[in-house]
Structure 1
């Protein structure tokens, strides 16, 4: 069984925000650290009308790009 529980690492100890969902005294754990700076960073503002990525600049596609496909004619 996998379960996720949040907590805080302070002075060499991990203080959990809630009890573990397992009642075993010997439970294996995996610890993943999340930096505070990631949570506090501002998200970049989105600007409408600008397309960034693969289609920036000139690109080419076939004139038959929007033509129906013969493979799908049974479903159309």
Structure 2
């Protein structure tokens, strides 16, 4: 079973935000993630850069002939 629990590492200790649902000795893996400012991540890629690159066929919403028996 894999379980993910959020916590904070501070002063050499990991402080969980909730109690793990395990009662016995268990192997754990700890991944450290840098805290980032959410407002800066939006600035990395401007919106609309893919505009005009994706084309849909004119019959995209038409029924598929192979599925007539199921409709």
So what's the TM-score if we normalise by structure 1?
0.53
From the two aligned structures, give the one with the greater helix fraction: 2
- Runs (4+) of structure 1 moved beyond 2 Å? 50-53
Structure 2 residue runs of 5 or longer lacking an equivalent are 54-59, 61-71
Residue 42 of structure 2 corresponds to which residue in structure 1? 44
Q: Which has the larger radius of gyration?
A: 1
1:7–1:51 distance in 2 versus 1, CA, 3 Å:
closer
Q: Report the aligned-residue RMSD.
A: 3.4
**Partner secondary structure for residue 36 of structure 1:** coil
**Partner secondary structure for residue 44 of structure 1:** helix
Mapping of residues 45-64 of structure 1, within 5 Å? 51-53=48-50
Structure 1 residue runs of 5 or longer lacking an equivalent are 58-65, 67-76
